[in-house]
Amino acid sequence: MNDIFGLAAANLLSPPVLFFVLGGLAAFVRSDLSVPEAAAKTLSLYLLLAIGFKGGVAANQAGFSMELFSVAIVGIILSFLLPLIAFPLFRILAKLDQKTAAATAAHYGSISIVTFVAASDFAARADLPVSGHMVAVAALMESPAILTGLLLAGMGSLAGAHGKARSKKSIDEEPSIWREVLFNGGVVLLIGAFLVGLATGPTGMVRLDPFVNGIFQGVLCLFLLDMGLVAARRLRDGRGIRPGLVGAAIAMPLIGAGFGLASSFVLGLSVGDAALLTTLAASASYIAVPAAMRVALPEANPAAYLSASLGVTFPFNLVIGLPLWFTAAQYLLG
């Protein structure tokens, strides 16, 4: 228990988390502090590039292994299956309609790359080595949950979900749905940067070290400041947020973390890799999945799924979840 409190205190007093809290406080007091949208997008692109490239370099040094293959398969399975648990939870506790519950459930099978970046930083500060291939696992877990969410919404398959009753508009939108699932910009950059790092290895790192390492912490602080502003404003303005939605949005990371820890134990992962897989399973998307759901399920209520994933689960994971997942991984696999 002392270890949990010690890790929690260390995480709360780290600059990235404190800047997230600062953003939240600024939003709640209605300050005019803001990060321009273009700048926020640039910060997110930098984080994706940096974490992907560093992971690729680490994978280059480690080489291909069956562990990479096995963890990737488990990650994909978790992404497919976790929405099946989230769906009844949001239907019953939050009383969401079927399509909104399905769209929300998809967020909890996919992952938050910013939470993953924060967990990677947490591991570095705790001197826990992690495998570079965990970046590839994160990228692979982004999309499968979207398909599960569409199936839960009763769409069947993208090719024949509406049968003869489909409108021309829905037919025209199907390629857009697949583009969101398979070629989301964040996924493309993350995998692409990973492949660049994998190809160039330590030589590439020498050339990019000041960029991908030197300014990483500062950029992460700026990005989390913006995330604090966005999340707090979502909560402040979310008049439709019910206690059941908040409860489900806190229950799902706990459930996902349980599956992540169990999978890590079966696979025999290191403490650092287990903590990252647990973090991925406990996180919720608020970038890739909302973009896909806007196209695939326009009837779903975005206020509900964004409030759950960004307004509740993201700060829960950042402030409380990470110390719990790392401590649990240490006890289970240390």
Q: In angstroms, rounded to a whole number, what is the distance separating the alpha carbons of residues 270 and 175?
A: 40
For tokens 């206690």, what's the residue?
243
Q: In angstroms, rounded to a whole number, what is the distance separating the alpha carbons of residues 211 and 122?
A: 20
What is the pLDDT confidence band of residue 157, given thresholds at 50, 70 and 90?
very low
pLDDT above 70: residue 153: yes
Predicted pLDDT of residue 268: 92
Predicted pLDDT of residue 225: 87
For tokens 């897989």, what's the residue?
277
Predicted pLDDT of residue 258: 96
Predicted pLDDT of residue 165: 45
Per the prediction, the chain carries an average pLDDT of: 81
Q: What is the CA radius of gyration of the chain?
A: 19
73 versus 227: the higher-pLDDT residue is 73
The average pLDDT across 272-276 equals 93
What is the pLDDT confidence band of residue 141, given thresholds at 50, 70 and 90?
confident
> What are the domain boundaries of the chain?
2-29+36-159+167-333
313 versus 224: the higher-pLDDT residue is 313
65 versus 126: the higher-pLDDT residue is 126
Q: In angstroms, rounded to a whole number, what is the distance separating the alpha carbons of residues 302 and 295?
A: 12
Kindly provide the b/e burial profile for residues 70-96, where b requires at least 16 CB atoms within 10 angstroms of the residue's own CB.
ebbebbbebbbebbebbbebbbebbeb
What is the pLDDT confidence band of residue 50, given thresholds at 50, 70 and 90?
confident
CB 174 within 8 A of CB 156: no
Predicted pLDDT of residue 169: 46
Predicted pLDDT of residue 3: 52
Helix then strand then coil, in percent of the chain rounded to 5, is 80, 0, 20
Predicted pLDDT of residue 277: 95
% the chain with pLDDT above 90:
30
pLDDT above 60: residue 263: yes
pLDDT single digits (tens) 166-222? 444 444 455 555 665 566 666 678 778 888 988 998 999 999 999 988 898 898 888
Three-state SS at 251:
helix
Kindly provide the b/e burial profile for residues 161-189, where b requires at least 16 CB atoms within 10 angstroms of the residue's own CB.
beeeeeeeebeeeeeebbebbeebbbbeb
pLDDT above 60: residue 249: yes
Predicted pLDDT of residue 279: 95
Dihedral angle over CA of 196, 197, 203, 208, nearest 10: 90
The average pLDDT across 131-140 equals 82
Give the domain 2-29+36-159+167-333 fold. Answer: Na+/H+ antiporter like fold (1.20.1530)
What is the pLDDT confidence band of residue 159, given thresholds at 50, 70 and 90?
very low
